[in-house]
Chains A and B, each alone.
Chain A
Amino acid sequence: MSKDVLVIGGGIAGIQASLDLAEMGIHVYLVESLPSIGGKMAQLDKTFPTNDCAI
Chain B
Amino acid sequence: MDGAEGNFQVTIRKTPRYIDEAKCTACGDCAAVCPVSLASEYDQGLIDRKATFKKYAQAIPGAFAIQKTDKAPCRLACPAGLNVQGYVQMVKQGKYEAALNIIMEDLPLPGVLGRICPHGCEDACRRSEVDEPVAIRDLKRLAADQFDPRDVKIECLPRRDEKVAVIGSGPAGLSAAYHLARKGILSTIFEALPEPGGMLRVGIPAHRLPREVLEREIELIRNLGVEIKTHTPLGPDMSIDDLLNGSYRAVYLALGAHRGIELGIPGEKAQGVRQGVDFLREVNLRGTAEVGRRVAIIGGGNVAIDVSRCAVRLGAQEVMILYRRTRAEMPAWEEEIQAAEAEGVAITYLCAPQEVLTADGRTTGLRCIRMELGEPDSSGRRRPVPIPGSEYDIEIDQLIPAIGQTPDLSALEDVPDLGFSKWGTAEVDPVTYETGRKGVFAGGDLQTGPWVAIGAIAAGREAAESIARYLDGRDMAEGRAPLANENPSYRPIPTDMAARSRARMPELPFAARKGNFKEVELGYDEAGGTEEAGRCLNCGYCCECYQCVAACKAGAVTLETHAQRPETLSFNVGSVILAPGFQAFDPGRFDTYPYAAAPNVVTSMEFERILSATGPYQGHLQRPSDGREPRKIAWLQCVGSRDINRCDHAYCSSVCCMYAIKEAVIAKEHSAHELEAAIFFMDMRTYGKDFEKYYERARDEQGVRFIRSRIHSISEDPGTQDLILQYADEGGRIHIETFDLVVLAVGLETPRQLVDMAQRLGVELDADNFVETGAFSPVETSRKGVYVCGAFQEPKDIPYSVMEASAAACDAKAVLSSARGTLVRERTYPAERDVSSEEPRIGVFVCNCGTNIGGIVDVPAVAAYARTLPGVSYVEENLFTCSQDTQDKMKEAIQREGLNRVVVAACTPRTHEALFQETLKDAGLNKYLFEMSNIRNQCSWVHSRERDEATEKSKDLVRMAVARAQLIQPLPQPTVPVDSRALVIGGGVAGMTAALGLADQGFHVFLVEQANELGGNALGLSRTWRGDDIAEKVKEMTNRVEAHPDIEIFKESVVTGASGFVGNFETVISQNGSDVSVRHGAVIVATGAEESTPSEYLYGKDKRVLTHHDLDAAMKAGDPRMAGAKIAVFIQCVGSREPERPYCSKVCCTHTVTSALELKALNPEMDVVVLYRDIRTYGQREGLYREARRQGVVFIRYSLDQKPVVEREGDAISVTVRDPILGREILIQPDLVILASAIMPRDNTALAQMFKLSLNEDGFFMEAHAKLRPVEFATDGIFMAGMAHYPKPIEESIAQAKAAASRASVVLSKEELTVEGAVSHVNEYYCLGCGLCVEACPFAAISLVDAAGGGKVSRVQEALCKGCGACSVACPTGAASIFHYDDGEVLTMVEAALD
Contact = CB atoms under 8 A, between A and B. Distances in A.
Interface of A: 1-18, 20-21, 23-27, 29, 31, 33-52, 55
Given A12-B805, A47-B798, A17 B576 contact: no
A26 B53 CA distance: 32
Interface residues of B, number: 88
Contacts of A13: 579, 581, 789-791, 801-802, 804-805, 808
B56 A42 contact: yes
B574 A21 contact: no
A14 B123 CA distance: 46
B577 A26 contact: no
A39 B691 CA distance: 24
B571 A6 contact: yes
A20 B808 CA distance: 10
Interface stretch (B124-132, B1091-1099, B1300-1308): B1300-1308
Contact of A20 (B62, B661, B1303): B1303
Main secondary structure of the interface of B (DSSP, over half): mixed
A18 B818 CA distance: 18
Contacts of B666: 45-46, 51
Contacts of A17: 577, 579, 789, 805-806, 808-809, 812
Nearest to A52: B1267
7 contacts: A6-B575, A6-B576, A9-B579, A13-B805, A36-B59, A43-B42, A46-B662
Interface string B769-813: 000000000000000000001111000001001101110111011
B1204 interface: no
A23 B1305 CA distance: 9
Given A6-B10, A49-B691, A21 B1267 contact: no
B54 A4 contact: no
B42 A4 contact: no
Given A6-B571, A21-B813, A26-B813, A49 B693 contact: yes
Contacts of B818: 3
B55 A2 contact: no
Nearest to B667: A45
B577 A40 contact: no
Given A13-B790, A17-B809, A51 B577 contact: no
Interface stretch (B185-193, B305-313, B611-619): B611-619
B1165 to A, nearest CB: 44
Contacts of B810: 20
Given A20-B1303, A48-B694, A5 B805 contact: no
A45 B688 CA distance: 20
Interface of B: 6-8, 10, 12, 15, 17, 42, 44, 53-56, 58-65, 571-582, 584, 605, 608-609, 611-615, 658-659, 661-663, 665-666, 688-691, 693-694, 757, 789-792, 798, 801-802, 804-806, 808-810, 812-813, 816, 818-824, 1265-1268, 1302-1303, 1305-1306, 1309
Given A17-B812, A40-B581, A51-B666, A5 B573 contact: yes
Contacts of B580: 8-9, 11, 14
A36 B55 contact: yes
A11 B581 contact: yes
Given A9-B579, A13-B801, 12 more contacts: A2-B6, A4-B823, A5-B573, A5-B575, A6-B571, A7-B579, A8-B580, A14-B789, A20-B810, A40-B581, A42-B56, A55-B56
Contact of A5 (B56, B576, B611): B576
Contacts of B55: 34-36, 38, 42
A35 to B, nearest CB: 4
A45 B1265 CA distance: 17
Contacts of B816: 3, 5, 26
A12 B804 CA distance: 11
Contacts of A14: 577, 579-580, 789-790, 805
Contacts of B665: 51
Nearest to A44: B608
A8 B579 contact: yes
Contact of A16 (B662, B663, B802): B802
Contacts of B792: 9
Contacts of B757: 8
Contacts of A47: 662, 798, 1266-1267
A54 B663 CA distance: 13
Nearest to A14: B579
Contacts of A35: 17, 53-55, 59, 61, 63-65
A1 B1309 contact: no
Contacts of A43: 42, 44, 56, 605, 608-609, 612
**Residue in B17, B63, B577, B813 with the greatest tally of chain A CB atoms within 10 Å:** B577
Nearest to A50: B1266
A12 B802 contact: yes
Contact of A4 (B573, B789, B1302): B573
A48 B660 CA distance: 10
Contacts of B54: 35-36
A8 B578 contact: yes
Nearest to A34: B55
A12 B1267 CA distance: 10
A46 B60 CA distance: 20
B581 A1 contact: no
Pairs A-B, 6 closest by C-beta atoms: A3-B819, A13-B790, A35-B65, A14-B579, A36-B59, A20-B809
